Structure formats: structure tokens, C-alpha cells
Amino acid sequence: MALVDAAKIRNVAVVGHRGAGKTSLVEALLFTSGAKNRLGAVMDGTTTMDYDEDEIKRQMTISAGLAHVEWAHHKINLVDTPGEASFITEALGSLLVVENALVVVNAVTKVEVQTERLWKRARDMGVSRIVAVGMMDRERAYFGEVMAALKARFGDEAVAVALPIGEEGDFKGLVDLVAMKAYTYAGTGGKGTEGPIPDDLQAAAQEAREALIERVAESDDALLERYLEGAELTGEEIASALKTALAAGVVSPVIPVCAPKNIGTDRLLELLLTGPSPLDKGERVAFEGTDGTREVRIAADASAPAALFVFKTIYDQFSGRVNLARIFAGRIATDTQLLNMRTGDKERTGNILLMQGKETKSIEEAAAGDIVALAKLKDTGTGDTLCDPSRPVRFPRFEFPPAAISFAITPKTRGDEEKVSNGLKRLGEEDPAMELRFDPQTKEMLISGTSQVHVEVILDKLKRRFGVEVELHPPQVPYRETIRRKAVAQGRHKKQTGGRGQFGDCWIEVEPKPRGEGYEFEDAIFGGAIPRNFIPAVEKGIVEAMEHGVVAGYPVVDVKVKLYDGSYHTVDSSELAFKLAGALAWSKAMGEAMPVLLEPVMNVEVVAPEENMGDIMGDLSSRRGRPQGSETMGEMHVIRAQVPLAEMLTYAAQLRSMTGGRGSFTLEFDHYEEVPAHLAEKIIAEAKARKQAES
């Protein structure tokens, strides 16, 4: 493929709720354009985009994929994204690199929660929205009801540019409201037969066309004046005004289609060309200089220094690491040297690839506005900026939402710990929404993700790609301990072994600090009661002893320790002796200071349908939750509460059961607070039993 002018490129993220038919629609667009010679289906795993084993098994898109079509001398890059809430970050991240979002809506279920979330994200980012109403051949698929739902959610910007010919199983074509022509389809070839508008649709088509003209004319003062004066607008004038309004984000055209029967996909391709090119959307914000502090604007100029943003990293069994990147400025060839702004290292482009799902084709060069794949870069991953070393710039990274669920993992085979760790680190480069960390307190390896489904998919990949399996366990809750009152204690370590002895003696006062203020040490020694060089040893002994409290062996927090007196021996005193004395003093003082057990309390945000609100509120209350407020978001409601982490370990499955999979939630640590006495007794008993089992 020759170098493509940015004016002839359309970058499109295909987004929508799970089950809306996004992948099937991309498949139909590929087939209609001639990019593929047969029409695959999601059900039998033959689509271009859902080629991964997990995607075929689960019959849903898990990872964003890239394809392209050529239509009317233009190149349309299509980023097919997941609609399942567990993987929605893939879709949110893809919106960073496109000018257009093709929002796919199921004609039966209409506007669903992830559709609303993605629409808002696209609008906030200035990405134009084009709506394809799919599955128009299904029972209860009524275009008028879909339009009413779209307007209720998104306002008057949603406007029909076509009407369906026939309903449900009789859906056979559409009326183009700009050209005022009908297109009917026979077979699945995807090319409609042009003809006159059926008589029974003439009045509806004229009314819908008037609504379209009124909406698009508002973005063009001259056109609006002509329209108000009663002038008859041509199809070319309406198309031009539609293009302007779509780029401005004030109009979102809506078109009915049916991907399995390939009805309307040729008209949809024409509509996508109406969307803005990389040149139409203006300049991109970046930060210039090695320190990344000066804001600059980057235009889609092929003659400027190169600047690329990596929005997705995947691992191919043949090509290894492959990075999907948007070229925002300049051009690259197969041996271009670029600077990775995160690592500060130089990268040299090897193979530049055009991707069609898992299929790749090498090209010699690519320029501003295009989306390509780069194979075998040394150390480049999702969110990295690659640029010409002569002009260091950095594009803002996508901030992934915090993980909602965590599991402790143990290898099924002893000795596989390193294989598991290395494999998960590799998968983490491909999926930044996954977190992997070691908890030094509980000595557990923890894997975190957006949902249990997300974690299960990661572990399926771990088994298939790296040949290792792990078992999942609920993670131990990171309890803490603290004190409730002041106390004083002496720590005296004296030992005589026949030679040089050991002697350390100290007096400390402990007192509680406000929750969350941590540990404080005060040196109040006067008159040389303890030599200055031994005081750090006393504190070290105290700090090490605080790692295992006297209640249940959990770390101690939010205390102030004052060292105020002691004694020493000129020969037998040493750093070790005072360290042991400090630990003894701490243990005695804590035992006298009314020690208590603390638990982490989380800020919980639940998004779910209104009809589930009662069940959710009741369930959160049963988990010792405290409501913090709620709000409405379209058909969905958001509930905020504070709930102890110990009560949320099994919440994901319960929420899925209560909402039929439509609910989602996020967790964020807020503070520690005392565990109720009746629960603390159980936790203490379990901790003692665990300690005995380990000894």
C-alpha cells in the first residue's frame, strides 16, 4: 500500500455494550469493502477480529484489535473493542487515538450501560460519534424506539440519516435521507440496489429529512438562513453541513444495519467517510522537552518530526511483541530511529505492519494520521510515546481505573514460582489493567483485575502461553494494630556470658496518634542517659517489633514513641543490646496501652440498573456498609458506600447474581478503623491457629 495522505484516512473505534454486534459489523464492513472474501460469524469462531482462543470460547471480544478497509479511495482504520465491562478499559484507551467512534447499538436492548459510558468518554475527548443500530432483523427491533432511547440519553444530537425498509424479519433495506433514495439488499453481498422510496415511507422519510436538515443547518449560519427562508437544500449542501456538524460533535448520525445479512453496510461505509479525518480534528496536546512540562500542539503533518503514541501491546507467537501505534506527526520507515520518552532509550523500527486481525502485511513506510503495528521493539509498551530525538514530546497516557478485585495465587506445581511471575509480568505488559504485586505482610502473590472474569482470562492465557497453572484463593485481609491510651515501660537487656556482657536499658512512653498519621519517634534523652550513638539502635528495635503486634501479629500503626530515659554500661553496652532493649520496652508498653485490631475500609462505588437498587443497598448494609450517597446516570444508578474490605472479597459474584451481569463496582482504600469486638475475637483466633500451623 502506498503512503496514505492524512486527508484520506478515517480512524474509527468500534464501541458499544457487549452483545451489540460490534465484531459482526466489522466483519461485514471488511467483506463489503472487499478486504475479506467470505463473511465469518462470531458463533463459529470464523471472524477476522475474534481469533484468540479465549474470545472464541467465550464468544466475546476481550482485546482491542486493528483492521482496515479501502473504500472510495480512502483508508478506514477500524479498532474493534470489547464491550464487556471487565475489558472496557481497552475501549476507553482506544478512543485516545481516533477521531471517530462508531457506536453500535442493539436494536432490541437499545442503549445499555457501557454504551452510555463510552459515549460520554468519546464526547469528553472530542471524538465524533456515528451510531449504527444493528440486529434490525430481530424480533422487537423497532428503529423508532431506538431513536427515542438515544435522544433520551444523549439529546437532540442523535439524528437519523436513514430509515429502515421493513421491520424485524422483514428488514430488507434503508432509505438514505440525504440523497432521498432507497437501497434494498438481496443475499449477503453488501451492495444495495438503488431505487425510489416506497410509497408507504414517503411521508416518514420527508418528516425525518426535515428533522435532519434542521439539526445540521444549525452548524452553518448561511445554510440555516437559506433554510429558514424556505429554500430547497440540495443533497450536497446537506452532506456538507452534516460533515461539519459531525466534526464539531453537535450531530451524531444514526443508521440502521444488519451485519449477519449484510444490509446497509455499504451506506455505513459512506457515512464513515463523512467523519473527520486526522486533519479535520486539529492538533493534539503533547508535552515538549525531556522534562515533559511545556504544553505544545502536534499537527498531523507528515513533514514534521515523527511522534507516535502506543495504545496497545500484544504478543504474537511468530512476531513476538507487537505495538499498535498512532502516528500523530511525521513519517516512519523500516529503519527509523525513535526515542522512547519513558525509558530514555533509542528504538529502531523494524517491521512496520498493517494488521487485519491476526494477519499482518509489511509496508515500507507510514505517515501522520495512520495507525500501524510495530514489531520487535526492545522495551516499548502501552502508553509509551516514540518520537524523533530532535524533538522530544510526550503524549498523555491513559490512566487505567483501579482494580476492583484481587486474588492470592499459588502455583499448582512446586517450583513454578518464577515461571508464574515471569509469565504474568509479560501478560501485564499486554494488559495494563492487570496488577501483580507481592504483599510483604501476608507473604502472598496477589493478582488484581477489573473483575473475576478478567482474572480468569489472564490465567487461561498464562496456562496456554507459558504452560503453568495457578490456584486462586481469597487474599488475606491486611489488618493492622494500634493502641488506645498512653503507657510507659522499661526495656532492660542484660546478659553475662563470662566475657564481655550485653547491657541496654531504656524507658519509653507510647501514645496513640490520629488514624492515618503513621509512626513517630521522639528522642527526649537529656544528660547522656543513653549515648547518642545507641539511640538509633533503640528505635530500630522498636520499629522491627512493631511489624508484629501483640494482638494477632499484625503490623502496628498510628503511634508515637518517646524515648525519655535509660542507662548504659561503658563496657557491655552495644547497638545490639539497645536494639533488644527497645524491642522489649515496646512489647511491654503496647500490652499496657489497650491494643486493638484495625481493618481496612474501602470506598465502594456500585453502578447498576435502578430496579436492583433495593437489593444492592440491603446487601451492602449486611456487609457493614455505610451509605455515602447516590446519583442517577441514565437508566443506571450509582451508589457510594464505605465498606470493610473483609466484607467485599466475595462481592463480585454476588453483584453479578443480583444484576444479571449488568452491575459493576470499584474499590478504593480510604482508611483503617477498629474491628468490632465480636469479629476481632474470631480474627485473633484464626491468626493464632495459622501461626501454630506454620511453626
Section 34-63 average pLDDT? 82
Q: Are residues 558 and 610 in the same domain?
A: no
Residue 27: how many CB atoms within 10 A of its CB? 29
- Is residue 279 assigned to a domain? no
Question: CATH code at 520?
Answer: 3.30.230.10
Question: CATH code at 47?
Answer: 3.40.50.300
Half-sphere exposure of 665 (CA within 13 A, CB side): 28
- Is residue 685 assigned to a domain? no
Give pLDDT tens digits for 107-124. 999 998 789 889 999 999
The DSSP line for 96-107 is GG-SEEEEEEET
Question: CATH code at 654?
Answer: 3.30.70.240
Q: What is the reported pLDDT for 229?
A: 75
Higher pLDDT, 418 or 231: 418
Q: Using DSSP bridges, classify how beta strands 331-333 and 320-329 pair: parallel, antiparallel or unpaired.
A: unpaired
Q: What is the reported pLDDT for 61?
A: 86
Q: Is the pLDDT of residue 465 over 70?
A: yes
As a whole number of angstroms, the distance between CA 481 and CA 554 comes to 6
Ramachandran area for residue 376 (φ above 0: left; ψ -120 to 50: alpha; else beta) = left
Q: Are residues 71 and 113 in the same domain?
A: yes
- Is residue 188 assigned to a domain? yes
Q: Are residues 39 and 168 in the same domain?
A: yes
Give pLDDT tens digits for 401-415. 767 678 889 999 888
Q: What is the reported pLDDT for 232?
A: 79
Cβ contact 263:138 at 8 Å = no
Q: Is the pLDDT of residue 660 over 80?
A: no
Total domain count for the chain?
A: 5
What are the Cα distances from residue 202, in Å, to 180, 206, 208, 263, 463?
Answer: 9, 6, 10, 20, 59
Q: What is the reported pLDDT for 545?
A: 95
Q: Are residues 589 and 603 in the same domain?
A: no
Higher pLDDT, 657 or 370: 370
Query: In sequence order, what are the residues at sequence separation of 6 or more whose Cβ sits closer than 8 angstroms to the Cβ of residue 264?
Result: 136, 162, 173, 174, 183, 185, 192, 255, 256, 257, 258
- Is residue 368 assigned to a domain? yes
Q: Is the pLDDT of residue 9 over 90?
A: yes
Cβ contact 451:405 at 8 Å = yes
Q: Helix/strand/coil (H, E, C) string of 529-578?
A: CCCHHHHHHHHHHHHHHHCCCCCCCCCECCEEEEEEEEECCCCCECHHHH
Q: Is the pLDDT of residue 318 over 70?
A: no
Cβ contact 351:374 at 8 Å = yes
Q: Is the pLDDT of residue 40 over 90?
A: no
Give pLDDT tens digits for 340-351. 999 999 999 988
Q: Are residues 155 and 250 in the same domain?
A: yes
Q: What is the reported pLDDT for 326?
A: 97
Q: Is the pLDDT of residue 480 over 90?
A: yes
Task: For residue 602, give the H/E element and its range.
Answer: strand 595-609
For the ranges 35-39, 54-58, 190-194, 430-434, the lowest mean pLDDT is seen at 54-58
As a whole number of angstroms, the distance between CA 282 and CA 229 comes to 33
What are the Cα distances from residue 695, in Å, to 9, 197, 684, 689, 692?
Answer: 67, 84, 17, 10, 5
Q: Is the pLDDT of residue 230 over 80?
A: no
Picking from 360, 394, 428, the residue at the C-terminal end of a domain is 394
For the ranges 5-14, 95-104, 681-690, the lowest mean pLDDT is seen at 681-690
Q: What is the reported pLDDT for 122?
A: 95
Grade residue 102 by pLDDT with cuts at 50, 70 and 90.
very high
As a whole number of angstroms, the distance between CA 589 and CA 485 comes to 10
Q: Are residues 208 and 84 in the same domain?
A: yes
Cβ contact 386:395 at 8 Å = no
Section 462-470 average pLDDT? 90
Q: Using DSSP bridges, classify how beta strands 435-439 and 331-333 pair: parallel, antiparallel or unpaired.
A: unpaired
Q: Are residues 314 and 172 in the same domain?
A: no
Q: Is the pLDDT of residue 397 over 80?
A: yes
Higher pLDDT, 579 or 687: 579
Picking from 274, 299, 332, the residue at the C-terminal end of a domain is 274
- Is residue 400 assigned to a domain? no
Rounded to 10°, the helix 143-154/113-124 angle is: 50
For the ranges 90-99, 253-262, 310-319, 379-388, the lowest mean pLDDT is seen at 310-319
Picking from 574, 593, 612, the residue at the C-terminal end of a domain is 593
Q: Are residues 506 and 424 in the same domain?
A: no
Q: What is the reported pLDDT for 631?
A: 85
For the ranges 156-160, 162-166, 281-285, 634-638, the lowest mean pLDDT is seen at 634-638
Give pLDDT tens digits for 498-550. 677 899 999 999 999 999 899 999 999 988 999 999 999 999 999 999 999 99
Q: Is the pLDDT of residue 42 over 90?
A: no
pTM: 0.78
Residue 437 dihedral angles phi and psi, to the nearest 5°: -155, 160
Give residue 363's domain range: 284-394
Scanning 357-409, the segments in alpha helix (DSSP H) are none
Considering the chain, what is the average pLDDT of its residues? 90
- Is residue 629 assigned to a domain? yes
For the ranges 37-51, 145-159, 306-320, the lowest mean pLDDT is seen at 37-51
Percent of the chain with pLDDT over 90: 62
Q: Are residues 245 and 96 in the same domain?
A: yes
Higher pLDDT, 91 or 666: 91
For the ranges 48-57, 381-390, 534-543, 680-689, the lowest mean pLDDT is seen at 48-57
Read off the C-alpha cell for 568: 548504659
